[in-house]
């Protein structure tokens, strides 16, 4: 027998109302939690994927497209640039590394990227099994590609033409898997890496100009180059230099992803508003439930006063009940939010990299809990005030209605 026990007994007395209010609260909290987790994961993913890359250099077009294609691998690249230009970049003293990449094919939706082993350094990736590619048509799978495809070392596969999931298959030029990478927590997990000459070879017999080069070795082309500066000062001059002095354009992943987030931000603001609305509705529901409970319970509260409970104590019973409900709603809502993120990750392969955060708690979730508890107090204030003001003598003089 204590105040928690009393509050629990009352909650159990009207299970339907309790469960409905709790459900409303849980939904609101879960939505907010899911949003917080998703935006955090998205933000981190953008940062991780772009971590080692200061600048993307490619054909003229949209800089956002350049970054989306070359860094995040979620778009098609704008066009090709001559390999010779990349070599020229490498000679630039402002450039520490410039890694060429050649794209054009995909395997089960994962981009096949022709590149040089330096790319692994750029992303901090390491080989888990096997080795890196040496000869043409040797491929190394990112951790997620290997896991999802189930392909092992020495297995062969054919790339599909284009970056969409259903391109025609290059059955005449299969790749052989020579290595699998350790999970790196960034975009490399979702790539198939190979030598640039493999990509050229696959496209040898096709129309010129499409992510390829003519077989004679002249005017070899790649899709773009990923650049890391030698000095921070390069940020001030190198992009302008490339944009004005060459036929190429440069794009900063940091800047473009920030731009992307502001666009995406509008959507998440709307969702956040919706979640706030849900929580407000839950708070209102709690208020109505408590207010009605207060009405039904005036006699009980009056009896508690005759048994020696002070005014503050009867307020406390109502406040505590509201707080318990809020705490339960917050806890279960956060659990549900995490579970939902896990489910989304399991159902949508594209979101699986966002879902790996479903097992950890973020500091901002403590803010959600605090907000819900504050709402619980707020919802109980008026009923508690009425309990405080209760005229016990008048109450006992009346019978039940």
Partner 1 sequence: MFTLTGLEHRYGAVTALRVPEWRAERGERWLLAGASGSGKSTLLNILAGLLRPSAGSVVVGGQDLGRLPEAALDRWRGRNVGYVPQRLHLIASLDVLDNLLLARFLAGLSVDRGAAAKLLASLGVDGVASRTPDRLSQGQAQRVAVARAVINRPALLLADEPTAALDDSSAQTTIKLLSEQADAVDATLVVASHDGRIRSAFARRYDLEPA
CB-nearer residue toward partner 1: 129 or 313: 313
The answer to whether the CB of 111 falls within 8 A of the CB of 192 is yes
State residue 327 phi and psi, 5-degree precision. -65, -45
Contact 62, 256 (CB under 8 A): no
The helix (run of H) or strand (run of E) holding residue 17 is: helix 15-49
One residue of 6, 51, 230, 381 binding partner 1 per CB under 8 A: 6
Part in contact with partner 1 (CB under 8 A); list of ranges 22-30, 118-126, 130-138, 306-314: 306-314
Judged by beta carbon, residue 5 or residue 232, the one nearer partner 1 is 5
> In this complex, which beta carbon is closest to partner 1, that of residue 258 or of residue 394?
394
158, 311, 328, 332: residue in contact with partner 1 (rule CB under 8 A): 311
Q: Which span (25-33, 65-73, 263-271, 391-399) binds partner 1, by CB under 8 A?
A: 391-399
Query: Of 1, 16, 91, 171, which one interacts with partner 1 (CB under 8 A)?
Result: 1
C-beta closer to partner 1: residue 151 or 380: 380
**How many C-beta atoms lie closer than 10 Å to residue 326's C-beta?**
28
Verify binding: residue 292, partner 1, rule CB under 8 A.
no
Q: Shortest Cβ distance from residue 322 to partner 1 (Å)?
A: 16
CB atoms within 10 A of CB 233: 10
φ and ψ of 80, to 5 deg: -110, 160
Say whether residue 389 binds partner 1 (CB under 8 A).
no
Which residue of 36, 309, 320, 368 would you call a contact of partner 1, by CB under 8 A?
Answer: 309
Question: Which one, 173 or 303, has the nearer CB to partner 1?
Answer: 303
User: What value, to the nearest 5°, has the Cα angle with vertex 183 and ends 180 and 189?
Assistant: 75
The whole-angstrom separation of Cα 30 and Cα 24 is: 10
Torsion of CA 368, 369, 374, 380, to 10 degrees: 120
Least Cβ distance, residue 25 to partner 1 (angstroms): 21
Q: Cβ of residue 381: shortest distance to partner 1, in angstroms?
A: 21
- Give the residues across from 59 on adjacent strands: 248
Q: Does 401 bind partner 1 (CB under 8 A)?
A: no
Query: Could you tell me which stretch among 70-78, 117-125, 251-259, 305-313 binds partner 1 (CB under 8 A)?
Result: 305-313
The reply on whether position 397 binds partner 1 by CB under 8 A is yes
CA dist 29 and 224 (Å) reads 44
Q: CB nearer to partner 1: give 7 or 178.
A: 7
Among 220, 305, 338, 386, binds partner 1 (CB under 8 A): 305
Question: Residue 349 in contact with residue 149, Cβ under 8 Å?
Answer: no
Cβ 1 to partner 1 shortest distance, Å: 4
**Can you tell me which of 272, 281, 300, 328 binds partner 1, judged by CB under 8 A?**
300
For partner 1, the binding residue among 117, 228, 313, 373 (CB under 8 A) is: 313
Is residue 15 part of the contact set for partner 1 (CB under 8 A)? Answer: no
Q: 308 or 363: whose CB is closer to partner 1?
A: 308
Q: Is 177 in the site for partner 1 (CB under 8 A)?
A: no
d(CA 48, CA 185): 7
Q: How far is the CB of 9 from partner 1 (least distance, A)?
A: 4
> By CB under 8 A, is residue 10 in contact with partner 1?
yes
What separation in angstroms does the CA of 115 have from each of 99, 142, 225? 7, 14, 9
4 binds partner 1 (CB under 8 A): no
What angle is formed at CA 148 by the lines to CA 144 and CA 153, rounded to 5 degrees? 80
* Comparison of 354 and 390: residue with beta carbon closer to partner 1: 390
Which of the 8 DSSP states describes residue 350?
G
User: Hey, what are 342's tokens?
Assistant: 């896990």
Closest to 191 in 3D by CA, of 72, 302, 290, 291: 72
Asked if 77 contacts 58 with a C-beta cutoff of 8 angstroms, the reply is: yes
- First CA to last CA across the chain, in angstroms? 28
Among 13, 210, 240, 360, binds partner 1 (CB under 8 A): 13
Shortest separation between residue 394's beta carbon and partner 1, angstroms? 9
Do the Cβ atoms of 233 and 227 come closer than 8 Å? no
- Binding residues vs partner 1 (CB under 8 A): 1-2, 5-6, 9-10, 12-13, 299-300, 302-313, 392-393, 396-397, 399-400
């Amino acid at each position: 027998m204590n105040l928690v026990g009393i509050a629990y007994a009352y909650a159990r007395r009207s299970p339907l109302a309790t469960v409905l209010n709790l459900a409303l609260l849980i939904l609101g909290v879960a939505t907010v939690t899911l949003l917080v987790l998703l935006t955090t994961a998205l933000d981190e993913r953008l940062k991780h994927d772009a971590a080692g890359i200061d600048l993307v250099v490619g054909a003229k077009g949209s800089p956002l497209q350049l970054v989306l294609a070359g860094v995040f691998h979620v778009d098609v690249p704008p066009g090709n640039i001559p390999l010779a230009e990349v070599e020229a970049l490498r000679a630039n003293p402002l450039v520490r590394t410039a890694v060429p990449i050649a794209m054009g094919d995909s395997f089960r939706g994962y981009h096949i990227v022709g590149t040089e082993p330096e790319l692994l350094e750029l992303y901090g990736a390491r080989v888990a099994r096997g080795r890196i590619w040496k000869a043409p048509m040797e491929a190394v799978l990112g951790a997620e590609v290997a896991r999802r495809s189930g392909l092992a070392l020495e297995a062969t596969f054919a790339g599909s033409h284009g970056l969409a999931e259903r391109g025609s298959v290059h059955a005449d030029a299969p790749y052989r898997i020579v290595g699998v990478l350790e999970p790196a927590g960034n975009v490399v997990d979702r790539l198939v890496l190979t030598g640039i000459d493999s990509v050229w070879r696959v496209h040898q017999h096709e129309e010129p100009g499409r992510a390829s080069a003519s077989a004679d070795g002249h005017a070899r082309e790649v899709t773009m180059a990923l650049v890391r500066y030698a000095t921070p000062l390069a940020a001030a001059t190198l992009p302008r230099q490339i944009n004005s002095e060459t036929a190429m354009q440069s794009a900063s992943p940091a800047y473009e992803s920030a731009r992307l987030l502001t666009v995406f931000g509008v959507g998440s603001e709307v969702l956040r508003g919706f979640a706030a609305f849900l929580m407000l509705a839950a708070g209102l529901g709690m208020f109505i439930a408590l207010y009605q409970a207060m009405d039904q319970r005036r006699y009980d509260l009056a009896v508690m006063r005759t048994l020696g409970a002070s005014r503050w104590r009867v307020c406390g019973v109502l406040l505590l009940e509201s707080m318990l409900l809020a705490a339960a709603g917050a806890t279960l809502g956060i659990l549900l939010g995490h579970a939902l993120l896990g489910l989304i990750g399991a159902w949508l392969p594209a979101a699986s990299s966002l879902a790996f955060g479903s097992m950890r708690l973020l500091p901002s979730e403590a803010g959600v809990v605090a907000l819900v508890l504050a709402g619980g107090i707020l919802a109980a204030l008026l009923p508690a005030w009425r309990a405080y003001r209760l005229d016990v003598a008048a109450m006992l003089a009346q019978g039940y209605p």
